[in-house]
Chains A and B, each alone.
Chain A
Amino acid sequence: MAERSISAKETVRDQPNASQFLLNVSNLRLYFKTTKGVVQAVDNVSFSLGRRRSLAVLGESGCGKTSLARAILRLLPRNIHTFSGEIVLDGVDLMKLDEERFRREIRWRKLSFVPQAAMNALNPVLRVGYQVAEPLIVHFGLDRDEAFKRAEEVARVVGLPVDFLNRYAFELSGGMRQRAIIAMALITRPELIILDEPTSALDVLTQANIMNSLKKIKQEFDVTYILITHDIATSSELADEVLVMYAGQLVEHSPAARFYKTPAHPYAQKLMASVPTLREDKTLEFIPGQPPSLINPPKGCRFAQRCPYRFERCAEDPPAFSLDGGGVARCWLLAR
């Protein structure tokens, strides 16, 4: 097992024993104010995530998975309408921390973030190496030389040639930049790393390379991923558990092994049916229609309109039903 946190500056935990779950999200709501109305981006989502159980969050664009990530990371825009619930990370309720405590104790110490490769997440006028080393300087007070040494170590881990650290972002290709960002996210050995579509803007070859690096990191370091993606195929490489979101709600959360073979929720089933497989000959399906608007979501099950198994009960919002083999899904079909 690789090293854990670097310095002795541990945070005070709310509970004396570390809970068995790394992350406990309860009744998370995130609504935005827009000129057209209130967008219910994340509507009453609850789930728990164990340590070293990496989670893939799947769903179409606009289903709220990115908003979920931003809620946990507290990277929120100005137009918030509602932001409530509980997010307990390693025993600490993040929602109860003020901004300054959150910044000092949580950001990049317990929790880090790998954005989409398409984003220009690197400062164009600072050297890449500096940006990778920066969290160590800021959070742990390391001096530059020490921090740069660590940056070199972590660069090797992610497969980034060390002399690239001396360069600027524009000198690196997309794949290299993403590696640098992963290195940056890893350098403080956080417990949870949230990755938002980390490979979707890259070509297939680079995608595969980076997925391999991520797998290696997962095996060698004591880190838990939350991987947000719409690419079901690549998610299967890293996920231990899968969470499916639809129209701002959680519709299924189950162990990966079971999910990829037999998803429980009709929407999840449709999703899996739309993925081409190498060895079978299957007709690809698509789901007709569009997800409902998040401004005035319909009452009852939000997928009912597009669901082939729709029946009268679906007019009522389904609760989460436990599944055999672990996990939950919100569908009345499971009530029987």
Chain B
Amino acid sequence: MLENLKRLFSYFSVRSFLLLFTVVVAIYLIIIIANMGGYMDKIKESEIMEQVYNTVRGNPALQRLSPSELRAILDKQIEIAKRQAGLDKPFITRSLEYLIRGITLNFGRAEQMTSDSGSNQVRLILLERLPHTLLLWGTADLLVFFVSVFFALALSRRYGSFIDRLSVSLAPLSTPPVWFYGILLILLFASFLRLLPYGGFVDAPPPSTTLAYVLSVIKHMILPVLSVFIALIFSSLYSWRTFFLIYSSEDYVEMAKAKGLSSRAIERRYILRPTLPPIVTSFAMMMISLWMGGIVTETVFAWPGLGRLLYDAIQHVDTPVIVGSNVIYGYLLAITVLLLDFLYAALDPRVRLGGARRS
């Protein structure tokens, strides 16, 4: 048992390390793209300018000067500061510094946006919105996963039946992205039926008691989660029912039947268990596209998460926030990949024991 844990742990560490490397490369790419538009430089420049202004303004000796003289001194100081900061150095060196900034989510100040707490530090703005995104998509992911595995297993038992053929033919309904169904649901439930809110996180003004607050949040989560559900359930059912069907025709399943195991036991140990690893992988892909699709969906539902933030940043042309969002999404995806990799290893002994010890 201990041997097992040790092996799992070493696998986990190796994977994290490799992943970290990839994350750094990814962030570097993002920084480069951002700076092709000259943006990282601009962030640096505005920081420098701000510093210089503050020093100059704080210097009482310079207060008496005329505006144009003041201007000349400011410009000169900015020049010096820029050279000191290395803005005239070749791109490679600058980019490395920006890389460090990127990794630590240090993007300076937002141009126009502020966080709820009033700060306009990009990092704070990003981190403030993160929990909302996690709450919504985390809940939706888990819901879709468990419901579809359960029903896909049931479907695979009924291969060729009406319900099976029906759900297979409904698979194409998963082509539209989540936000598409979001809009339809809003039109139906919010606009036409007036049953559920158009969007947002909680009622305005927010209720005072904790219970009412929680209920209000749940009420606001219904439509977004429902859109995710509708958008993903059909194709999940199709893929996983197909997986189960394929894996049920494996020889060891037949052996289990020959051994006289009950269908319950066969389903659990011989069909579900071996199929879980590929299901987890396919689920990882689904989660990744969900994070992406979440951007437009949060916009549509005015849900105060990272996606909506990105949309607002586009509207306000607040580039530091956009670049920062890219990086934080990169982190989010990396963590998703890591978690699911770990889950895969825990489920599939072939992976965690790394190559057969043939005997």
Query: Which residues of A approach B to under 8 Å, CB–CB?
Result: 73, 75, 103-104, 106-109, 112-113, 115, 119-126, 134-135, 138-139, 161, 164, 167-168, 170-173, 176, 184
Residue contact B260 to A126, C-beta cutoff 8 Å: no
CA distance A139 to B258 in the complex (A): 12
- Mark B252-282 against chain A: 1 for CB-CB distance below 8 A, else 0: 1011111111100100011001100100000
Return chain B residues, CB-CB under 8 Å to A164. Answer: 359
CA distance A172 to B349 in the complex (A): 13
**Chain B nearest CB, measured from A226 CB (Å):** 14
Residue contact B258 to A123, C-beta cutoff 8 Å: no
Interface positions of B from 329 to 359, Cβ below 8 Å from A: 347-350, 353, 356-359
Return chain A residues, CB-CB under 8 Å to B251. Answer: 115, 119-121
Residue contact B359 to A173, C-beta cutoff 8 Å: yes
Return chain A residues, CB-CB under 8 Å to B250. Answer: 120
Residue contact A138 to B350, C-beta cutoff 8 Å: no
Can you list 12 residue pairs at the A/B interface with Cβ under 8 Å?
A104-B260, A107-B258, A108-B260, A112-B258, A115-B251, A121-B254, A123-B270, A123-B274, A134-B259, A134-B261, A168-B350, A168-B353
Residue contact B269 to A138, C-beta cutoff 8 Å: no
Residue contact A121 to B265, C-beta cutoff 8 Å: no
Return chain B residues, CB-CB under 8 Å to A139. Answer: 260
Known pairs A120-B251, A124-B274, A124-B350; A75 contacts B257 (CB<8 A): yes
Residue contact B260 to A120, C-beta cutoff 8 Å: no
Give A135's nearest chain B residue, CB to CB. Answer: B259
Return chain A residues, CB-CB under 8 Å to B270. Answer: 123
CA distance A106 to B259 in the complex (A): 9
> Which of B269, B349, B357 has the most chain A CB atoms closer than 10 A to its own CB?
B349
**Chain B nearest CB, measured from A7 CB (Å):** 14
CA distance A235 to B70 in the complex (A): 105
Give A102's nearest chain B residue, CB to CB. Answer: B260
Give 6 nearest A-B pairs by CB, closest first.
A107-B260, A119-B251, A121-B255, A108-B260, A123-B252, A168-B349
Known pairs A104-B260, A108-B260, A134-B261; A122 contacts B252 (CB<8 A): yes
Please name 20 further chain A to chain B contacts, defined as beta carbons within 8 Å, in addition to the given A123-B270, A124-B350, sorted by A numbering.
A75-B257, A103-B260, A103-B262, A108-B259, A109-B260, A112-B259, A121-B251, A121-B255, A123-B273, A123-B274, A125-B274, A125-B349, A134-B261, A135-B260, A138-B261, A167-B357, A168-B350, A170-B356, A171-B353, A172-B358
